[in-house]
Structure 1
Amino acid sequence: MSLSPAEVAAHEELLERLYAAMDAGDGDAMAACYTPDATFEDPAFGHLEDGRGQAMWRMLCQSSGGDLRAVLLDREVSRNGTGTAHWIADYTFSQTGRPVHNDVHATFVFRDGLIAAHRDRFDLRAWAGQALGPVPGLLGRTPLLRLLMHRRTRSRLDEFIAAHDRRGPRTRAAS
């Protein structure tokens, strides 16, 4: 695939829109930047698909308490339909009240004018030290932190999705 200069520019604008929406705390606008089948991956949530990445952004924007600040430092889109971004997030981690400054490098794959795959990379150990404190942050040196983070974040995401499903609340039928 070889994108035209106009398509490259449109994808660059899409990345700018994504991070502007994050800075504004608008999870719905962020979710609109992705294809319905987009995948997302980062050290805290692991690999997400089936709309869970879009739900994650909605959840994070909603739980940020309005103090999430995102700054897109750099972005680049290539003619082969991929891109990169370097961005910074500053926020208060809602579960501990601790301030976080997260330096993130992202890669993207674009399709049909939207993001089809998004992968964020950041130092999980540094993040844990800020968000959770020095003692839990020590776990950042072990694979245990990643496992515990994935379980906890996915559980929170499952609860969020169940409570905010666009089709309305789900109820279980009595057996």
Structure 2
Amino acid sequence: MNTPQMGNQNQTLLNNFYTAFAAHNGTAMAACYHPEAVFSDPAFGTLNAKEVCAMWQMLLERSGGNLDVSFGDVHADALTGSARWTAKYLFSKTGLTVTNKISSNFEFRDGLIYRQHDDFDFYKWARQALGWKGALLGWSDFLQDKVRQQARASLNAYMARPKS
């Protein structure tokens, strides 16, 4: 049922999600996802609920506190939502500073995030994160595929590590 109240709940859900992200609270972020959620973005491709929750936790842990997340333009109704957010961080592989502006689109189910698609300018990200190599090859499918393969391999290794 499409009710204004449900839209407000979903807008609150998104605000809670990004507030948890800004606070580096991966557990609170994971609680916002439906058990059958699907996430996609240019860097990781398509992830299931378990993978996306692990991805956020991995990124938060690896940032070493060197991640600044800001968000705004949050909108939601009973079925869909959107937000814009910015991540500022040091890209660990090159030591270069990245300011990545991301647009997110959402679908909701059972009061949780069911689908999330994040989009950003990959070429702009590659120039910042990879320096001259990103400026030279950032427009290419080759580089995007290579980044996605490395991101997925990193996530798989993170998920396979023994939990303490």
Q: Normalising by structure 2, what TM-score?
A: 0.94
CA distance 1:149–1:162, shift in 2 (3 Å): same
**C-alpha separation in 2, matches of 1:123 and 1:89:** 13
Q: In the TM superposition, what whole-angstrom CA distance separates every residue of 1:21-53 from its partner, at most 9, and x where no partner exists?
A: 111111111111101111110000011115111
1:115 and 2:113 are equivalent in the alignment: yes
CA distance 1:149–1:132, shift in 2 (3 Å): same
SS of equivalent to 1:71: strand
Give the partner amino acid of 2:22.
D
Give the partner amino acid of 2:90.
T
1:49 and 2:51 are equivalent in the alignment: no
Return 5+ residue gaps in structure 2 as ranges.
none
Shift of 1:132: 1.3
SS of equivalent to 1:48: strand
In structure 1, the partner of 2:103 is 105
State the 4+ residue runs in structure 1 displaced beyond 2 angstroms: none
Q: How does 1:71-90 map to 2 (within 5 A)?
A: 71-79=70-78, 81-90=79-88
Larger relative contact order (Cα-Cα within 8 Å, sequence gap ≥ 6): 2
Q: In the TM superposition, what whole-angstrom CA distance separates every residue of 1:60-89 from its partner, at most 9, and x where no partner exists?
A: 11111102111112111134x011111111
Q: Normalising by structure 1, what TM-score?
A: 0.88
**C-alpha separation in 2, matches of 1:33 and 1:12:** 12
In structure 2, the partner of 1:5 is 4
In structure 1, the partner of 2:89 is 91
Return 5+ residue gaps in structure 1 as ranges.
170-175
Identity of aligned residues (%): 41
Shift of 1:12: 0.6
Quick check: 1:96–1:131 contact (8 Å CA) kept in 2? Answer: yes
